[in-house]
Amino acid sequence: EADIYQTPRYLVIGTGKKITLECSQTMGHDKMYWYQQDPGMELHLIHYSYGVNSTEKGDLSSESTVSRIRTEHFPLTLESARPSHTSQYLCASSPSLGVSNEKLFFGSGTQLSVL
């Protein structure tokens, strides 16, 4: 149903490496989000964007950065990965049809492991 794609699905890297998690959607949605999810825990919002050139930090403090140069693309970058960054990262988007009843469409996630 959802046309939102995340790559890679799985990533294992060493400490100190720079990584970029990709997220693209073909639905023309203005709003995009990055969530972090640990096993058995709730999703935490780390970044969001209302549109091109608009990015905001979410509730959870994160050392990652994001950019929104194109509507369909919302990559997340970690300049120097650490073991504490090991988690699942979920990208989502929603249309700007209004406020309350917007449905979130999620990608399949990237499972990141930092050794």
Partner 1 sequence: KNQVEQSPQSLIILEGKNCTLQCNYTVSPFSNLRWYKQDTGRGPVSLTIMTFSENTKSNGRYTATLDADTKQSSLHITASQLSDSASYICVVSDRGSTLGRLYFGRGTQLTVWP
Site of interaction with partner 1 (CB under 8 A): 1-2, 4, 6, 40-45, 48, 90-92, 99-109, 111
CB of 13 to partner 1, least distance (A): 19
CB 78 within 8 A of CB 24: no
CB of 41 to partner 1, least distance (A): 6
**Structure tokens of 38?**
């640990």
Nearer Cβ to partner 1 (58/73): 58
Nearer Cβ to partner 1 (6/64): 6
Q: Which of 72, 92, 74, 58 is nearest to 21 (CA)?
A: 74
CB of 3 to partner 1, least distance (A): 12
Q: Which of 1, 7, 58 is nearest to 26 (CA)?
A: 1
Nearer Cβ to partner 1 (14/42): 42
CB of 20 to partner 1, least distance (A): 19
Nearer Cβ to partner 1 (19/90): 90
Close Cβ partners of 98 (under 8 Å, ≥ 6 residues apart): none
> Hey, what's the torsion of the CAs at 11, 7, 72, 80, to 10 degrees?
20
